[in-house]
Structure 1
Amino acid sequence: MSVSNIDKSTSALAQVAPVYSPISLQTDKASYEPGDTIIVTGGIAPGLLSKNDTQIVIQLYTPLGGLARVDIVNATADGRFTDSIPAGSTMNIQGEYRVLATYQGKYSGETSFQFEQTIRDYSCALTVCTYQLNIADKTYPINYRIRGVLENITSDIEKPSLKINVQTEFKNAVLLIALPKDVIRSSDNDNNATKIAFTVLVDGQNGRKSEQGDEAIATQTLRITNPESVRILAIDFARENKQIEIIGTWLVPEYSSSALAIIILAAISASLMGIRGLTLSNTKKK
């Protein structure tokens, strides 16, 4: 074999030979969005882990090379380790992020993932927003502020309740909402003038809420011109929560008075037609 052929063979072997890494490292997905949890798992090559030193340093680097986060985790006896990183927070740049795991400052392994930065409008945390709730062909403005996004509000006459779909990238958030008394009320059945607490469910579970009676919150924070016309709730929710339900004792009917009259007339008409049909049937039999 000629020298040139030997060089070519050596070059080919170098290209296909696997690169040895004393620490294996991977993430559970290739791409993440704000609000996701990045699960990092890895393992140390056999024989490298010391019983007296099991700490693994996990470093997260931004697409620009800046250090975004540092975690320290402990490896198990067989050299395995795991770490959870919330997508978001210090990750404010879209692109490829690098994860580096280091043991004793000399053994390392790395992996990477894509972070897709979703641009969301959080202006309702800084200023008052208004949701136009439509019930029975009538629109009711509902003022609110939220550290996140209020997607929509629907009514449930059976409970009676308002269901509010929300989302946030933050670990903890608050919805401050003014509930018009001509939309939903919660009062004592024996005395409608006596208000009682609303029931609040967050994803079907009892939620943490407080009623805000300070007039300044109504007039200044939520821009309510007539504070007596609303009840204000501050409701806590978290990143993983999707729906808030506010349950009262009364909700504005789903049908307007004219529509309700038509429904009643239709029901009466159907009933009369049934009676007439039965009468004619009995007459024919005779």
Structure 2
Amino acid sequence: MDSRIFYGVISLLIISAVPVFAQESLISVQTDDKNYDEGDTIVISGLVTTVVGETPVTLQLFTEGNLVDIAQITVAQDGTYSHTVIAEGPLWNKAGDYLVRVLYGEGNIAESEFSYTPKSEVVETTTNFEVDAGSHGTFDVEYTIKGGTVKDMIVDADIFALIVQIDSTDEGKIDLDLPREFIGAEKQDGKDDTFIVLIDGVEVPYQESVVHSDSRVITINFEQGDSDIEIIGTYIVPEFGTIAMMILLVGIMATVILTRNRFQIKI
């Protein structure tokens, strides 16, 4: 065999044996959540590692292969980009997985997915929960919850709190109609004060949309995985508050008596 042919074959074998690595994409993409309901704002953002002039990012949004949205996004000097989409309109009528695809320049593609639920399929429950107040009987709390279910409501007399235990399958919210007769937050002059609301031990804000003479309606937003919501006021079942105050007074009186006795013994 001709030596030139032999070495040529060997060279081709060596070249074919060298692995070919795919070019790393210059762009990334993500959404600020993985689950959205109709009307939500979807924030899509990412990073371009090498900015090429004024080349924009092309965004495409698909569901089941159908184009839902398309946009051209300007890239900042540091390579970041961001775009918001409102999940509503005639094209947002199907529940399921949605694909976000971004393209930058030639051959640079990144993708991300999220799930979407139209209002017609959002599960929202409104009912009453009978709260056990021990020897003081029970009282009802009306609530509406979206994104989860209520497992239990418990009175914690030590901290004047109503603890709402939930199973949150998604981010959502709960509206609680709190009867003033059993739980409230009041100032010394009897006017309404703010509640302290904790979710899994972390203080969170809440909204108060309706104020009745006999109840207060508050709305609390929660995240997927949250479990315990504590609503702390200045009293929880008035009898509990009275008992707690009596125990406190007895403790103070006992301390005073002991202090006086020790003082008299020393004399």
TM-score interval, normalised by the smaller of the two chains: 0.5 to 0.7
Q: Distance in 2 between matches of 1:197 and 1:61?
A: 48
1:133 to 128, 131, 134: 131
Instruction: Give, as a single letter, the amino acid of the residue that structure 2 aligns with 1:42.
Output: V
1:145 touches 1:176 (CA, 8 Å); kept in 2? yes
Give TM-score, length-normalised by structure 1.
Answer: 0.52
2:26 to 24, 32, 38: 24
2:103 to 95, 101, 104: 101
- Residue 144 (structure 1) shift: 1.6
Per the alignment, in what secondary structure is the counterpart of residue 158 of structure 1?
A: helix
Structure 2: any 5+ residue segments left out of the alignment?
37-41, 244-267
Q: Distance in 2 between matches of 1:68 and 1:165?
A: 39
Aligned residue number for residue 60 of structure 1: 61
Q: Distance in 2 between matches of 1:246 and 1:207?
A: 10
Q: 1:27 to 1:73 in 2, by over 3 A?
A: same
The alignment covers a number of residue pairs equal to 216
Instruction: Give, as a single letter, the amino acid of the residue that structure 2 aligns with 1:180.
Output: P
Q: CA RMSD in A?
A: 4.9
CA offsets, 1:31-53, max 9 Å, x none?
x73169775333347xxx12xx2
2:63 touches 2:98 (CA, 8 Å); kept in 1? yes
Per the alignment, in what secondary structure is the counterpart of residue 25 of structure 1?
A: coil
- Note the 1:55-204 alignment, pairs <5 A: 55-68=56-69, 70=71, 72-76=73-77, 80-83=79-82, 93-95=95-97, 97-103=99-105, 107-115=106-114, 122-124=123-125, 128-136=126-134, 138-149=137-148, 151-152=150-151, 153-164=153-164, 175-187=174-186, 194=190, 196-201=192-197, 203-204=202-203
Identity among equivalent positions (%) equals: 15
Per the alignment, in what secondary structure is the counterpart of residue 158 of structure 2?
A: coil
2:45 touches 2:80 (CA, 8 Å); kept in 1? no
Aligned residue number for residue 216 of structure 2: 232
CA offsets, 1:127-152, max 9 Å, x none?
x3223333327543311224543545
1:33 touches 1:116 (CA, 8 Å); kept in 2? yes
Aligned residue number for residue 266 of structure 1: none
Q: Distance in 1 between matches of 2:76 and 2:185?
A: 54
- Residue 160 (structure 1) shift: 0.9
1:40 to 46, 68, 79: 46
Instruction: Give, as a single letter, the amino acid of the residue that structure 1 aligns with 2:68.
Output: L
Instruction: Give, as a single letter, the amino acid of the residue that structure 1 aligns with 2:47.
Output: T
Q: Distance in 1 between matches of 2:76 and 2:131?
A: 53
Per the alignment, in what secondary structure is the counterpart of residue 59 of structure 1?
A: strand
Q: 1:67 to 1:185 in 2, by over 3 A?
A: closer
1:251 to 220, 231, 236: 236
Q: 1:18 to 1:174 in 2, by over 3 A?
A: closer
Q: Distance in 1 between matches of 2:70 and 2:237?
A: 50
Q: Distance in 2 between matches of 1:154 and 1:68?
A: 46
After alignment, is 143-152 or 89-98 more displaced? 89-98
